């Protein structure tokens, strides 16, 4: 179904947004995909938040602000908390109207993309929760494509480093910079080696250091200890002066490592 929004209608729609609704739009613009449960943890107070979440998300879906995709994460037992959401056309137009992003038609992506995107979203949600607990200050979280970095490649061409996210965390007077790679354990060693090479080449360009004064460490989030060893071995095949550019940890240890709770 097509939706036509004049400037006047956009103004009216924008004016009707509650603070919670606008915050949800901004979150989905940032991470692209989220489950209802993830949105609940981000935007609804503890207590009777399941009912509030269902009411708010349904109202936003009815107004084409967000789209409930044809996927259910976690099977039927997950209920409405497993529904998957993205920005719909009206939501994108509202953000564009407010000076945000360009409009793209929402689609239902394939399973591997969904699992990867939701893992990135989960990291963002967990960092927001860590900030609420006073464990860190979340200064920046950029998911793809905002996290990408372009730089000159061999022969004068342009290449792009494509980390899954870029994160800045504050702790007192210190700021930690991270590139995030969510590794699902499915990529071949050759692909893994190319990604690690790409980080070293971007580091060698000096562009990031000139821009921010530091080069982010790439944190590889892996599903289990076996994959940890695969990524660590790939890092070990790099020149020794670039080993410091990478750190590897399993998913469940990521927040503790990033916020200083674990070594």
Distance CA 70, CA 231 (A): 34
pTM for the complete prediction?
0.89
Tokens 């860190």, residue? 136
Give me the pLDDT at residue 82, please: 78
Portion of the chain with pLDDT greater than 90, in percent: 67
Tokens of 35: 């489950």
Give me the pLDDT at residue 78, please: 47
The phi and psi torsions of 93 (rounded to 5 degrees) equal: -65, -35
Tokens of 27: 């979150």
Tokens of 204: 């060698």
What pLDDT band is residue 177 in, cutting at 50, 70 and 90?
very high
Give the pLDDT confidence of 184-220 residue by residue, as tens digits: 998 888 999 999 999 999 999 999 999 999 999 999 9
What pLDDT band is residue 3 in, cutting at 50, 70 and 90?
low
Higher pLDDT, 130 or 51: 130
Give the pLDDT confidence of 118-129 residue by residue, as tens digits: 999 999 999 999
Q: What is the DSSP letter of 136?
A: -
Mean pLDDT of 32-44: 93
Distance CA 193, CA 177 (A): 22
């Amino acid at each position: 179904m097509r939706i036509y929004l004049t400037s006047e209608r956009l103004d009216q729609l924008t004016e009707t947004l509650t603070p919670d609704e606008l915050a949800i739009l901004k979150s989905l613009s940032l991470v692209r995909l989220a489950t209802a449960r993830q949105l609940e943890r981000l935007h609804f107070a503890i207590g009777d938040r399941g009912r509030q979440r269902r009411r708010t998300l349904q109202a936003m879906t009815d107004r084409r602000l967000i789209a409930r995709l044809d996927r259910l994460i976690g099977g039927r037992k997950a209920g409405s908390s497993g529904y998957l959401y993205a920005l719909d056309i009206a939501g994108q137009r509202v953000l564009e109207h407010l000076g945000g992003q360009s409009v793209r038609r929402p689609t239902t992506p394939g399973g591997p993309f969904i699992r990867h995107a939701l893992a990135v979203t989960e990291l963002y949600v967990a960092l927001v929760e860590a900030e609420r607990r006073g464990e860190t200050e979340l200064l920046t979280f950029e998911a793809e494509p905002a996290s990408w970095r372009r730089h000159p490649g061999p022969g004068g061409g342009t290449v792009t480093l494509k980390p899954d996210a870029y994160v800045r965390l504050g702790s007192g007077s210190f700021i930690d910079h991270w590139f995030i790679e969510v590794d699902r354990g499915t990529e071949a060693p050759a692909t893994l080696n190319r990604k690690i090479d790409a980080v070293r080449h971007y580091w060698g360009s000096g562009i990031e250091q000139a821009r921010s004064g530091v080069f982010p460490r790439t944190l590889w989030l892996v599903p289990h200890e076996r994959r940890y060893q695969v990524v660590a071995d790939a890092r070990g095949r790099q020149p020794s002066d670039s080993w410091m550019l990478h750190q590897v940890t399993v998913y469940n240890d990521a927040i503790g490592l990033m916020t200083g709770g674990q070594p």
